[in-house]
Structure 1
């Protein structure tokens, strides 16, 4: 049964000259300069392939990287002849560790793993978050059941297995034979996969080679830091511990798994898997390269510990429904700026510090998150977005940074004003104020309408060095903002009933307040004008 992921199984989906293709690992690496991008079923699959296979192979074979080496690699047309030789030697020496069904070292899996419960194997769809499995019925459905599972080709099964290692839900998992911590053929208290704890921000280059280099962190390797295929194959037992370093963290075994192959007329297929508890880690390591960070007040500070910090650094989550450019300040704020509330990722900071990456480099950022319920036991949504990132803003150019961030803030202010208009009109018509945490809101619709204009403006910030031209572009963007905000406001105003003209008086925070259409419109127009100072300069008495 063919299972070699290095040269035989085409399991890395790619786009080449706009055409979809699938390649074995070696070809994907050595031809990366000719490949546009990874092309997984979901952007989260691309992240899993990068972190669990592509990046650790390159970093372990060629690293650790110095700043000078990284600066040379990011402007090179591809891997050098010497680097190609190193990668080939590395893969040849570890060929047996990249076999999907190796008896002793199945790639990414636990050999001979058996479920503690009779017939406890899971259907292959248990690995795929967009497909129904057990009591999970996602929006996208196919006509498969646990008794009639999807027969996945080997490459697809390996891909989704790595995806589960990154993003699997938490809660109760089936126990495995030989796991001393399994009780009644199951384990409880399992945490979500390592990437369930933050919004993943991935720098994207002009081709796959540049994307690989942009995602390789600079710096020495921690003692004992090795990828999973350099370690002893895991058994059914597991523990909670900290990863030794980036290579182990990227290939972290959050689940014990085994793919169960069977032969068909179309070749090897995987219809069932064994999935059990794996190693646990307390939180996101502070050196996680794909995370951005926020600084918050330490609400858990122990009064008996006066030395505890007042502010803690935490990985940033992405709010459901939010677009990537709405968090632009987080993405563009360099580490360790004094009194900063945010901090960008290690990878973006090192791109900004590059001596060879030009200010007009067309860097793109892709953000990915899986949104879970409170207990991380079910998936509510999968969100992803892509936006241009001006290198000059990352490097701290105050004009570019201020312009880019201000454009995002102004859009958010208009969305807030639109939502407030909707709430005031609802109350003027004797209805309840909309719940800000539930349902769809007109401000979200406005942000979606503004998105293409914001992205085009950010793209212009990457290539425009003339401050006056950038200021004219910002004024033009505000004109578009104004047009779309007025359109959103008029849509709300034309829908209100006649009773909104006379309004309604109700008690707010112990005081009577009257809600009328006229006041709601006046507040909206004032907020709209205040948010757009380039086209509505403040009056002398207001400045």
Structure 2
């Protein structure tokens, strides 16, 4: 019998002293303070392992802090209680075995289709070709699926529960909703409908504690992770509300069975080439009161059958710092009716009450997926990570005002650069570039500004008292970068732009007007360029 015990077998991908390592769940949690954090070579898998296993294990084994004092005591301890973690995992003998005959972890034993069909394991991995999901530049085809080691198969399994595509799934024997060998109407995995925002600390221990919820009343009575449910999962699935946070974190959105086979290259080892994947549980109702890792946008005029808020999803090509207003909306909705993720709102409360140091090395990891063709394929995976001064989460703090000012000015610079490009095209007799076509000057400028914004955020995280110096330095650097983007466009404009297509018209589009308009925009954003004292005196 094949055994792969996730408690001890190496499979959780982490970083220790700058190097990627794989460890079991026990070592990952007990020694969490010794790891730098999650390995992000596959961010979808990293988030899935964190949410589906590591965080629920800590939450279920230790219980949620009941108040600020309990949370602070855990934070200040600097490591998890080894005896409690070991006792919890020891009492779950067999429940974490990836290939258990009766209750394989996060799977259904004996799951099969009426024709005993299986699919390539690449079905679980968006970056590999599978069916009509063929990523650009993929080196593999569906006819040549990879042979996944158990560790890789475990990570892919959890990622499928979180991010799997929608649409038709294979019908499983015993599923009463199967029709003609298929099950239709499947939504994407639950995280695919969110813009995941994960607070990240200096170590895995800090990351886990930063994401632990404070629950004054404790967990809901029936709430538990999937491995502690009374009965093993079957091919039958249900539509229901989440019973609590643990249930939501370990939600089984698919019914899956990994098919192990002997490794032809190594005696005694197994690999996974085939898988059975069918419909799983579907969430009903709003999860806003439970889901901690996404921002929410209030629906302006919701219908009776609509939720009052919807999760905010990340936009392809948009750096995380451009969404700072939403990340910092911890005290209430923004002008766009967006509120911050619950995890960041809790950190704001902890910081305001002095439970977190002002120079905490906090980062924010953002992960999201863009689906295409009726959400049946994955077109893009959006990943970013930015430093975030924890003081900026607190309402009315000087750091918060500085960060929001910088984000607003950067957006105004983007608009000004786009307008400059439109004005130059108009001076040459061309039409504006549609917002969704080609690369505009504003996009180039945002790309150039990104390193500067990251440096500013990192600097304020270390020195939150230096807001004035940070703003002054930002204004100098941002103005310089804006001209570095604008000047090639101005100098490269054609001869016809000097007088424009209608030189007889006084206010017709021309090169000088485009440059003057851009210069005014910079002065509106940052104020006029200071005149050196010596020049003014002369």
TM > 0.5:
yes
Match of 1:84 in 2: 82
Match of 1:275 in 2: 277
Matched, 1:518 2:512: yes
Match of 2:524 in 1: 530
Report if aligned partners of 2:359, 2:390 keep a CA contact under 8 Å in 1: yes
Report if aligned partners of 1:475, 1:535 keep a CA contact under 8 Å in 2: no
Q: 1:251-288: per-residue Cα shift (whole Å, max 9, x none)? A: 11111100000012431100000011111113651121
Residue 309 (structure 2) aligned to one of 274, 294, 313: 313
* Distance (whole Å) between structure 1 residues aligned to residue 213 and residue 530 of structure 2: 45
Residue 327 (structure 1) aligned to one of 317, 323, 327: 323
Correspondence list, 1:83-162, <5 A: 83-116=81-114, 118=115, 120-143=117-140, 145-162=141-158
Match of 1:169 in 2: 165
Shift of 1:41: 3.0
* Distance (whole Å) between structure 2 residues aligned to residue 494 and residue 119 of structure 1: 67
Correspondence list, 1:101-500, <5 A: 101-116=99-114, 118=115, 120-143=117-140, 145-219=141-215, 220-231=218-229, 232-264=231-263, 265-266=265-266, 267-282=269-284, 285-287=287-289, 288-298=291-301, 300-301=302-303, 312-336=308-332, 341-354=337-350, 355-373=354-372, 375-466=374-465, 469-500=466-497
Structure 1 pair 440–338 and aligned structure 2 pair: CA distance change class (3 A): closer
* Distance (whole Å) between structure 2 residues aligned to residue 40 and residue 462 of structure 1: 22
Match of 2:536 in 1: none
Q: Secondary structure at the match of 1:96?
A: coil
| Unaligned residue ranges in structure 2 (runs of 5+) | 532-538
* Distance (whole Å) between structure 2 residues aligned to residue 30 and residue 140 of structure 1: 40
Shift of 1:108: 0.6
Matched, 1:72 2:73: yes
Shift of 1:536: 6.6
**Runs of 4+ in structure 1 over 4 Å off:** 337-340, 534-537
Q: Secondary structure at the match of 2:283?
A: coil
Report if aligned partners of 1:367, 1:384 keep a CA contact under 8 Å in 2: yes
Shift of 1:13: 1.0
2-11 or 248-257, which moves further after superposition? 2-11
TM-score by length of 1: 0.90
Q: 1:449-493: per-residue Cα shift (whole Å, max 9, x none)? A: 111111111122223243xx4212211111110111111111222
TM-score by length of 2: 0.91
* Distance (whole Å) between structure 2 residues aligned to residue 363 and residue 481 of structure 1: 24
* Distance (whole Å) between structure 1 residues aligned to residue 375 and residue 292 of structure 2: 23
Report if aligned partners of 2:64, 2:212 keep a CA contact under 8 Å in 1: no
Shift of 1:513: 8.5
Q: Secondary structure at the match of 2:94?
A: helix
366-375 or 407-416, which moves further after superposition? 366-375
Root mean square deviation, CA, Å: 2.2
Q: Secondary structure at the match of 1:452?
A: helix
* Distance (whole Å) between structure 2 residues aligned to residue 502 and residue 90 of structure 1: 78
Shift of 1:372: 1.4
Report if aligned partners of 2:11, 2:154 keep a CA contact under 8 Å in 1: yes
Match of 2:60 in 1: 60
Structure 1 pair 182–217 and aligned structure 2 pair: CA distance change class (3 A): same
* Distance (whole Å) between structure 2 residues aligned to residue 394 and residue 123 of structure 1: 45
Structure 1 pair 284–17 and aligned structure 2 pair: CA distance change class (3 A): farther
Q: 1:270-315: per-residue Cα shift (whole Å, max 9, x none)? A: 00000111111136511211011223422x446xx9xx99xx4322
Structure 1 pair 453–283 and aligned structure 2 pair: CA distance change class (3 A): farther
* Distance (whole Å) between structure 1 residues aligned to residue 113 and residue 508 of structure 2: 65
258-267 or 328-337, which moves further after superposition? 328-337
Q: Secondary structure at the match of 2:434?
A: coil
